[in-house]
Amino acid sequence: MNKVQVIESVLKANDAVARANRHRLHQQGILSLNIMSAPGSGKTSLLEQTISHLPHDCRSAVLVGDLQTSRDAERLSRLISQVTQINTGSGCHLSAAMVADGLDSLDLTQVDILFIENVGNMVCPAAHDLGEDARVVLLSLPEGDDKVAKYPTLFQPADVILLNKMDLLEILGFDCGSVRADLSKINTRAPLIPISCRSGVGLDEWLRWLTNRINTSSVE
Amino acid sequence: MHELYLAQELLNQVLQSVSDHPDAKVCAVEIEVGPMKQIVLEAMELAWRSVVEGSLADQSVLHQVEVPITAQCRNCTRTFEAAIDSYQCPECRQADVQIMKGHEIILKSITLEEIKAGEREQGASH
């Protein structure tokens, strides 16, 4: 019997590629955001609204992850040219290696901000660093006001939390106070911004957060 | 949910770590599991059994040791043990923390056993 001591992260392969992605993006001066949520929370709608409202001199690109279809990429391609769909097959999250391949498909010299739309899933994406600068987490009202407490590992590392589909507030009787109470135990750092991609409410506040983030990263 | 992926990554790492022991097989693997990785231990065990089949770690036992979450408050710098559903600092009541431990899955050790001559011949005949 011989015991070999190792002490290495099992995700070290993913983490090494994530570090390389981060370095590559920073060298090009690109801010990158990893957008995570359950399926149907409105990630693609958020990107449509965001890209349409960003200043013209802020060039964006999107890597969009889904198990199947290129429907999200087709929607976003109507707004910008640099969009790549990543189909994960049976994979329930994007990995750093998939993002690295996605970066190869983009002309990074023409990008200021990269949005990575993760696969809709509230568990696995949170466990994988992709090399992003910030994590954007969406929660939509139809999912219920208990999701922060139920999925703490998604919300704990979030840099900003968007509460989407606020236009349904009265119909659903969603309790925003309950979300805030849960966040007081899980994440008090990330601002909680109520928005509606349909009515446009709150999007100005989200765009202000994003613009501040772009300006901060360009100063760094 | 992602146990199969993690088990495969773990096996790759184990085989890489023992590549300079050509006459040994893996009989045990010890990992430290952070609660924030949201691993279901039973599912990880099943995933391990499935990925090691036919490899040098075929008959190996997977020892999974759960570790607590250690967090440092970004507001007042206090270090404390957090729970999976609460990261509130006991000092200043903020939930703005840097996770120090408990968000990783770490390969700690691998126990090797020498492959006996008979076993090697048996393995070679497959």
Please tell me if residue B67 touches chain A, with a CB cutoff of 8 Å. Answer: no
Please tell me if residue B86 touches chain A, with a CB cutoff of 8 Å. Answer: yes
Contacts of A126 in chain B (CB under 8 A): 38
Q: Which residues in chain B land under pLDDT 70?
A: 1, 118, 120-126
Assess contact for A152 and B84: CB atoms under 8 A: yes
State the pLDDT at residue B126: 39
Please tell me if residue B88 touches chain A, with a CB cutoff of 8 Å. Answer: yes
Q: Which residues of A touch B (CB under 8 A)?
A: 1-14, 91-93, 121, 123-124, 126-127, 149, 152-153, 156-157, 183-189
Please tell me if residue B23 touches chain A, with a CB cutoff of 8 Å. Answer: no
- Rounded average pLDDT over A38-58: 96
Do B105 and A184 make contact, defined as CB atoms within 8 angstroms? no
State the pLDDT at residue B121: 55
As to burial, measured by CB atoms within 10 angstroms (0-12 exposed, 13-18 middle, 19+ buried), residue B56 is: buried
Q: Parse chain B into domains and list their residue ranges.
A: 3-69+104-115
Q: Parse chain A into domains and list their residue ranges.
A: 12-212
Question: How much helix, strand and coil, in percent to the nearest 5, is found in chain A?
Answer: 45, 20, 35
Do B94 and A124 make contact, defined as CB atoms within 8 angstroms? no
**Strand ranges, E, within A10-150:** 31-36, 60-66, 83-87, 113-117, 134-140
Contacts of A149 in chain B (CB under 8 A): 85
Chain position carrying tokens 């509130």: B88
State the pLDDT at residue B27: 95
State the pLDDT at residue B116: 79
Q: Which residue of B has its CA nearest to A187?
A: B95
Whole-number Å distance between alpha carbons of A190 and A172 = 25
Q: Which CATH architecture has domain B3-69+104-115?
A: 2-Layer Sandwich (3.30)
As to burial, measured by CB atoms within 10 angstroms (0-12 exposed, 13-18 middle, 19+ buried), residue A216 is: exposed
Q: Which residue of A has its CA nearest to B104?
A: A9
Contacts of B6 in chain A (CB under 8 A): 10-11
Q: How big is the A-B interface in CB pairs under 8 Å?
A: 107
Whole-number Å distance between alpha carbons of A64 and A214 = 20
Give me the residue from A6, A11, A123 closest to B109, CB to CB: A6
The first and second tokens of residue A197, run together, are 């991609």
Give me the residue from A7, A127, A187 closest to B106, CB to CB: A7
What mean pLDDT, rounded, does chain A reach? 95
Do A4 and B111 make contact, defined as CB atoms within 8 angstroms? yes
Q: Which of the two residues, B118 and A72, has the higher pLDDT score? A: A72
Q: Is the pLDDT of residue A140 over 70?
A: yes
CATH no., domain A12-212: 3.40.50.300
Among A59-63, A214-218, B106-110, the range scoring the smallest mean pLDDT is A214-218
The first and second tokens of residue A86, run together, are 């990543």
Banded model confidence at residue A217, pLDDT cuts 50, 70, 90 = confident
Please tell me if residue B92 touches chain A, with a CB cutoff of 8 Å. Answer: no
Among A37-46, A85-94, B92-101, the range scoring the smallest mean pLDDT is A85-94
